[in-house]
A and B are shown apart, each in its own frame.
Chain A
Amino acid sequence: DVKVTQSSRYLVKRTGEKVFLECVQDMDHENMFWYRQDPGLGLRLIYFSYDVKMKEKGDIPEGYSVSREKKERFSLILESASTNQTSMYLCASSKLTEAFFGQGTRLTVV
């Protein structure tokens, strides 16, 4: 069974904190993605990576950075969390077409 695992289901952080969201996949996929999902909006791409140490900005990269030191792990970093970053964060990986998603991290910034 394919698996994408995100480190936390629920997270509460304070404004200004540095936040790390971790994602690990066991399918040897090259492509990994970070999305955020907000009510009434589609999945919005924050960053993606096609290979180790490679990263590309998505549609809404501001306030975020990423790290891909190993093929199986893709980390999303909120440099200084703000309340407008309260959201559901979804990690996904893919080889060519079909994307497999992690269970999501619901982040609340207070």
Chain B
Amino acid sequence: GQNIDQPTEMTATEGAIVQINCTYQTSGFNGLFWYQQHAGEAPTFLSYNVLDGLEEKGRFSSFLSRSKGYSYLLLKELQMKDSASYLCASMDSNYQLIWGAGTKLIIKP
């Protein structure tokens, strides 16, 4: 079956670094997405990885290992506005997105 696993909730301190992990099992693979969703709002695109390695975009980086079925999202210099849910999604061979349940990130001052 198809499955995406990510932690339900994480807590971190303002100014620190946090890594949110995601493991996936999908029928075929056409890339791994990370989205950010603030409470009551729509998900917004953060990153897309289809090749192994690290993609850096400002304070946010995303890593992919296809052989391990593993990705992580790294957030540096955390700010209070980073408090949100972070959704991991894998695109399968039919170009359908399979979504994780999301990780709620709580930032404390």
The one of B4, B40, B97, B100 that contacts A99, using a Cβ cutoff of 8 Å = B97
Instruction: Quote the shortest CB–CB distance from A85 to chain B (angstroms).
Output: 19
Chain A: residues with Cβ within 8 Å of the partner, total of: 19
The one of A40, A97, A101, A103 that contacts B91, using a Cβ cutoff of 8 Å = A97
A103 touches B102 (CB 8 A): no
B96 touches A45 (CB 8 A): yes
The one of A40, A43, A96, A104 that contacts B41, using a Cβ cutoff of 8 Å = A104
Instruction: Quote the shortest CB–CB distance from B51 to chain A (angstroms).
Output: 13
CB nearest neighbor in A for B102: A42
List chain B residues, Cβ under 8 A from A97: 30-31, 33, 48, 91, 95
List chain B residues, Cβ under 8 A from A104: 40-42
In the complex the two chains form, what is the Cα distance from A100 to B45 in whole Å? 8
A40 touches B101 (CB 8 A): yes
B101 touches A101 (CB 8 A): no
B87 touches A102 (CB 8 A): no
The 6 closest A-B pairs by CB, nearest first: A42-B99, A101-B42, A43-B99, A42-B101, A103-B42, A101-B43
